[in-house]
Structure 1
Amino acid sequence: MIDWAPVSGALGVISCAAKGEPAWPPLALFKAMLLSIWHDLSDVKLAEALDDRASFRRFCGFSASEPTPERTAFVRFRKSLATHGLDKALFEQITRQLKSRAIKVKTGTLVDAAIIASASEADDQGRWVKHKGKPAVHGFKAYVGADADTALVEEVAVTPANVNDGRAGLDALPDNPGEVFADSAYRGDHFGDAVRARGGTPRIVATGMWGRDEAETLGRLAAWNQPIHRIRARIEKIFGTWKRSYGLRRMRWRGLAKAAIQIRLTAIAYNMKRSLKIIAAVG
């Protein structure tokens, strides 16, 4: 399903050797990072699993008799990803391949954000945010633009948690998005103009409308909002999978750059699993 050659090429600038030790193949470490997302493993547990599980070794390209990386190799690998800013390039490369297999006709885009708690409240790049009726959270926001039909994630943006959705959400818009479905936080010209500039049509949940009387107004509001809610709800399943199955209930590492790495790795892992299901269904 994936041609790993261009991924390996993008990773070629990375060397993750400790002083005086041979370097681990960057592609093997990247594949190991995907395994850690799929199985919700810490660095320590990932190192143990690679040493013990034949299927993990095969996926990463290690033979049965080879040594496998220790925890510190993954720490150095993430630092190198952040230094070279490779998480975005890797996400775009793999997503482009998956979209060519799974998305036949582009009709619409889902845009939304999820708040992810920081690894520690001492993380000075996270921010506090409070929504009505919910406790305050210190962390980051993951903005996602996903295909409305396949639920494949096409774009990802990551910010501190207190950034305004209507302004940051445009960074999660793909080109030629079609109809863009989003909740009322994305009302306003800033987001709507960005959608239209990319050739799309905004379909944003409305909070009020004009009418001759209350019944007519509420009826018009429901007629506009209900189809948007029905389609937009698909993106909640994406965030639910990330948090429930892929360990994205909170960040594992400190800092905005490493938060972005974790979220984009999660998006890659999710897209690969999702594409398998789509291809199997149509095949």
Structure 2
Amino acid sequence: MSQISFADAEQAGKRRKTRREVFLGEMELVVPWKALLKVIEPHYPVAGRGRRPYPLQAMLRVHLMQNWFALSDPAMEEAMYEIASLRSLSGLGLETIPDETTILNFRHLLEASDLAEDIFKQINAHLARKGLLLKRGSIVDATIIAAPSSTKNESGERDPEMHQTKKGNQSHFGMKAHIGVDADSGLVHTVTTTAANEGDVDQVGDLLHGKEDMVWADSGYRGAQSRVKRGVQWHIAGRPSDMAKMPEGRAKASARKQEHQKASIRAKVEHPFQVIKRQFGLAKVRFKGLVKNTARGTLSATSLRVQRDTTRTRH
């Protein structure tokens, strides 16, 4: 690591740490850095006759911080110059900050080799060793992520991999993120993405880790039982219209109680969506096409899981 500047030394000597500094300090402790570096190292360029590449560990840290704080490539470069805590975690000094093109190329390297999924699996394995994953129940759900619907661009058309869908009485254009969440811990164990017009139930087989006894889902997953050919107890929400048709009495009161119990368990799936969209900035797509946005969504889910681990460790 290079010698820190006087400004960085003054920053480090402050009595009160900001929330960003606290967060980065926790991530430094809980992210399995060595395991992630082993995933990327075979694909990373080595020093030769050309320009010497940046240290892999520094670029990985820059890339993860870019996802944690929902920054574009130019914004990440500027943030590295402006914020000492980001430089501290990356191990880079002011004179060695990568430019936006280098940050972009590293992201493209991960996308080209589909390494976001491998990084996600490493985090899975890390948390499983700590006893935080693969319990006997899962919750599945999906959320729509908006994409630009305007055709006022260079190509004069919308992103062909995004599609229109209708939810309630409102139309949406974009993609869907589908997740499987552990019913006990609330940790995300599976992520897939599709165009927004893809049915939720069509992805259910890819959202289960295979060791569940029970699965909870909303009414959009009706018929899932026929798509997963093994013994699983399904707890799928009933349609409000079906509930409204039932006559008042004990049967309806019992059905309401059952639906309330299902909903109280399914509520755990909303927290990951909230964090991924609000904290990590994935309420709208940033890139064109599913591949790039899938990589970003997967890394956001990875960051969420590590963040949840810091919360459990702290308490």
**TM-score when scaled to structure 1?**
0.87
CA contact (8 A) 1:246 1:266 kept: yes
1:238-277 matches, within 5 Å, as 238-277=272-311
Q: In structure 2, what residue type is equivalent to 1:42?
A: S
Residues 230, 15 of structure 1: CA spacing in aligned structure 2 closer, same or farther, 3 A cutoff? Answer: same
Find 1:123's aligned residue among 159, 181, 195: 159
CA contact (8 A) 2:148 2:173 kept: no
Unmatched runs of 5 consecutive residues or more in structure 1: none
Identity of aligned residues (%): 30
CA contact (8 A) 1:205 1:228 kept: yes
Cα distance in 2 between the residues matched to 1:102 and 1:117: 35
Aligned to 1:249, the other structure's residue is in SS state: coil
Cα distance in 2 between the residues matched to 1:100 and 1:25: 28
In structure 2, the partner of 1:95 is: 124
In structure 2, the partner of 1:29 is: 59
CA contact (8 A) 2:134 2:182 kept: no
CA contact (8 A) 2:134 2:209 kept: no
Q: In structure 2, what residue type is equivalent to 1:10?
A: V
In structure 1, the partner of 2:71 is: 41
1:152-171 matches, within 5 Å, as 152-171=187-206
Q: How far does the alpha carbon of each residue in 1:51-90 deviate from its partner, in whole angstroms, 9 at most, with x for none?
A: 333322232232x355111111222122222211111111
Aligned to 1:22, the other structure's residue is in SS state: coil
1:214 CA drift (Å): 4.8
Aligned to 1:233, the other structure's residue is in SS state: helix
Cα distance in 1 between the residues matched to 2:227 and 2:37: 34
Find 1:70's aligned residue among 99, 102, 106: 99
Q: In structure 2, what residue type is equivalent to 1:95?
A: N
Q: Does 1:113 align with 2:139?
A: no
Q: In structure 2, what residue type is equivalent to 1:8?
A: L
Q: In structure 2, what residue type is equivalent to 1:128?
A: Q
In structure 1, the partner of 2:214 is: 179
Q: How far does the alpha carbon of each residue in 1:232-283 deviate from its partner, in whole angstroms, 9 at most, with x for none?
A: 01211221122121111101111110010110111111111111001222xx
**TM-score when scaled to structure 2?**
0.79
In structure 1, the partner of 2:179 is: 144
Unmatched runs of 5 consecutive residues or more in structure 2: 1-29, 151-157
Cα distance in 1 between the residues matched to 2:133 and 2:143: 27
CA contact (8 A) 2:135 2:182 kept: yes
How many equivalent residue pairs?
Answer: 274
Find 2:113's aligned residue among 80, 84, 89: 84
Find 1:192's aligned residue among 225, 228, 243: 225
Aligned to 1:130, the other structure's residue is in SS state: strand
1:196 CA drift (Å): 6.0
